Amino acid sequence: MKTMLRERPDRNILWRRFVYALRQRWVRQGFTIAILFLVLHYFAVLIEVAKLPRLEAMYETLALFAFAGDKNYVMASLHPGNDLHSLRSILLWLAMIFAPIATIAAVVELLHYVVNRPEQVSARWNGHLIIVGAGRLGTAIGRDAWLRHKTKVAFIEIDPMNALVHQLRTDGFPVIIGDGKELTVLQAAGLDRASAMIAVAREDLTNISSALMAVQARRDRPMNCIVHIVDDRLSRRLPPSLRKPYSDCLIPFDSYSIAARALISARDLSTSDQDSLYIIGGFGRFGQSMLRELMHAQVGRKHRFWVVDPRSDCVPDTITKWKGFNQSLFEHKQTSILDERLWSDITSSALEFEKTTILVCTDNDDSNLAFSLAINDRMTDTGRIMLLTRMFKWPDSLLSGHDGDSLLKGIYPVNVFQLLAEKLRTEVDEWPIPS
């Protein structure tokens, strides 16, 4: 019943990315502004050069959109006294060409909306993927599934005010507003015809409930359900009556652990035998996953670990049971990453180690960037320090080169959801995207 992911060739991925780019809002807005400019110019030429009455000029302008443009008006604009007649004629020809294209695009978009309404799944869909939770994580997985596998994706989101809902619908993805734990909502997303489901809502219990509801509703035709569970204690404490009957269908995963392993591998953070200091600013879910994976990779080595977070209760009690944990090598700095005294401590302590790796991963882009810039400015030997900065919206103007390197030397952007989307297919053995 479980199917392994078979990578599709990438010969069509550029075309799918091109189609996806055309559906972006800024592309549509730019095309609309260009059409309006060309049409208004055409209207002005009919009045000033062709000397048509305003009403007739308006009629002839609207005729452009009905494939009834008259090229005689273009020829009439080419009089010898007009020094800009070449540019004017080019604009008129462009108006006659792109106005009908705009009509075709509008008709196609209208038909697409009627046939594939963004608030419901088409009855013709079969074998599609359902994603519960249209957050940044679910959106990244859904877009990657469509771009790389050409898989049709339907989203379920409980929050109608989620800004990503409008963007997904604009891009052609159907989004069902409702609670993924309810069977009627799952059925509205085409549960009976879907090939798999991925539950990546904000709450672990919501993901488990949605997956169990889907599996129970599809007892006659079982399907795979990938369940996002961050709290591993919760997955271990699930009653056997729930786990065993559906062990072949439910596939739990922790996105933050997968992203942490991907980042450690990409930046070779676990291969150093040098005396190193690892500093993690912001000890949320991703920060905890990074510390746990780093400790696993550094077993037997005397590296130091700092955690910077103003919360006194951010360090879990179970940290002492983590593989590789050594209390003498761990220190919790209970302060903000914007504390200048912390910056001085880091710069002075970094001189005592051959290599210092800093991962700042709070949920505030401005704080992360300010901290990274401050540390980067204070460090005299930038070759001994690596700054990994988690950014939800990294400014494109700061990016340069390949592999995500930044124009700011020594500072590297980290996008957790991009790491996950690229790594998840190799981390999860039973990936349910139909091949």
CATH no. for residue 145?
3.40.50.720
Instruction: Return d(Cα 303, Cα 315) in angstroms, integer.
Output: 19
For 149-168, what is each residue's pLDDT tens digit?
778 899 999 998 888 888 88
**Residue 177: exposed, middle, or buried by beta-carbon count in 10 A (0-12, 13-18, 19+)?**
middle
Is residue 204 included in any domain, yes or no?
Answer: yes
Domain with 346, as residue range(s), is 269-415
Is residue 423 included in any domain, yes or no?
Answer: no
Average per-residue pLDDT for the chain: 78
Is residue 193 included in any domain, yes or no?
Answer: yes
What's the whole-number mean pLDDT along residues 33-43?
87
pLDDT at 281: 93
pLDDT at 337: 92
For 200-215, what is each residue's pLDDT tens digit?
998 888 898 898 899 8
**Same domain flag for 212 and 137:** yes
pLDDT at 32: 86
pLDDT at 112: 65
- Contact present, 252 and 430 (Cβ < 8 Å): no
Query: Could you tell me which of 288, 383, 299, 374 has the C-alpha nearest to residue 336?
Result: 374
- Contact present, 128 and 152 (Cβ < 8 Å): yes
Query: Could you tell me which of 400, 424, 425, 429 has the C-alpha nearest to residue 412?
Result: 400
Q: Among 214-228, 300-314, 382-396, whose mean pLDDT is lowest?
A: 382-396
Query: Which residues on neighbouring strands pair with residue 156, listed in sequence order?
Result: 132, 176
- Contact present, 242 and 215 (Cβ < 8 Å): no
**Same domain flag for 101 and 137:** no
- Name the domain count of the chain: 3
Is residue 435 included in any domain, yes or no?
Answer: no
**Residue 435 clears pLDDT 60, i.e. is over it:** no
Question: What percentage of the chain carries pLDDT values higher than 90?
Answer: 14
Instruction: Return d(Cα 379, Cα 358) in angstroms, integer.
Output: 12
User: What is the number of residues in the chain?
Assistant: 435
What's the whole-number mean pLDDT along residues 101-123?
74
**Residue 378 clears pLDDT 80, i.e. is over it:** yes
**Residue 83 clears pLDDT 50, i.e. is over it:** no
**Same domain flag for 275 and 405:** yes
Q: Among 27-31, 78-82, 189-193, 228-232, whose mean pLDDT is lowest?
A: 78-82
Q: Is the pTM of this model over 0.75?
A: no
pLDDT at 402: 39
CA 41 → CA 34, 37, 66, 96, distances in Å? 11, 6, 18, 11
**Same domain flag for 273 and 405:** yes
**Same domain flag for 300 and 389:** yes
Instruction: Return d(Cα 360, Cα 367) in angstroms, integer.
Output: 9
pLDDT at 273: 67
Is residue 424 included in any domain, yes or no?
Answer: no
Kindly list the strands in the beta sheet with 411-414, ordered across the sheet, starting from the edge strand earlier in the chain. 330-333, 304-308, 276-281, 355-360, 385-390, 411-414
* Greatest mean pLDDT among 58-72, 96-110, 228-242, 397-411: 96-110
- Contact present, 307 and 330 (Cβ < 8 Å): yes
Query: Which residues on neighbouring strands pair with residue 332, listed in sequence order?
Result: 307
**Residue 280 clears pLDDT 60, i.e. is over it:** yes
Residue 34 phi/psi, 5° resolution?
-65, -45
pLDDT at 406: 45
**Residue 31 clears pLDDT 60, i.e. is over it:** yes
**Same domain flag for 138 and 109:** no
Q: Indicate the residue among 219, 253, 287 that finishes a domain.
A: 253
pLDDT at 1: 35
Query: Could you tell me which of 373, 362, 364 has the C-alpha nearest to residue 398?
Result: 373
Task: Count CB neighbours of 36 within 10 A.
Answer: 11
**Residue 217: exposed, middle, or buried by beta-carbon count in 10 A (0-12, 13-18, 19+)?**
middle
Question: What percentage of the chain carries pLDDT values higher than 70?
Answer: 75
Is residue 369 included in any domain, yes or no?
Answer: yes
> What angle is formed at CA 145 by the lines to CA 198 and CA 104, rounded to 5 degrees?
125
Phi-psi region of 67 (alpha: psi -120 to 50; beta: other; left: phi over 0): left
Distance of CA 284 to the CA centre of its chain: 20
Banded model confidence at residue 232, pLDDT cuts 50, 70, 90: low
Is residue 434 included in any domain, yes or no?
Answer: no
**Same domain flag for 92 and 59:** yes
